[in-house]
Amino acid sequence: RKEVEQDPGPFNVPEGATVAFNCTYSNSASQSFFWYRQDCRKEPKLLMSVYSSGNEDGRFTAQLNRASQYISLLIRDSKLSDSATYLCVALTGGYQKVTFGTGTKLQVIP
């Protein structure tokens, strides 16, 4: 079983729609979590951190459920520029090991 799992998609949504991604992690010792965004043929870049209390950054909301070992990302009012692959990330081992999910591809359609 992979340490971090995501639905690969693709998710094809119209502009203005709300879309949610989930990610599950298997290692209960994982300590911190992030969402990264990767554009085609580019390196991943940090989108936002994920906190137990949930956090929001503009149209993006991230949540962590430690009991069920999953994290989520909600994107409201989707823009064409949101089209990308979204990767969830778990840190374990005293923040030494950084494991990425396989990514979920989002395509926002005009």
Partner 1 sequence: SQTIHQWPATLVQPVGSPLSLECTVEGTSNPNLYWYRQAAGRGLQLLFYSVGIGQISSEVPQNLSASRPQDRQFILSSKKLLLSDSGFYLCAWMDGNTEAFFGQGTRLTVV
19 or 47, CB closer to partner 1? 47
For the bound state, the minimum distance from the C-beta of residue 83 to partner 1, rounded and expressed in Å, comes to 16
14 or 46, CB closer to partner 1? 46
The residues that touch partner 1, with contacts defined as CB under 8 A, are: 6, 8, 31-32, 34, 36, 41-46, 49, 87, 89, 91, 95-103
**Token digits for 85?**
């692959």
For the bound state, the minimum distance from the C-beta of residue 96 to partner 1, rounded and expressed in Å, comes to 5
Residue 12 near residue 107 (C-beta atoms within 8 A): yes
- Beta-carbon contacts of 33 under 8 Å, excluding residues fewer than 6 positions away, are 25, 49, 50, 64, 71, 88, 89, 90, 91
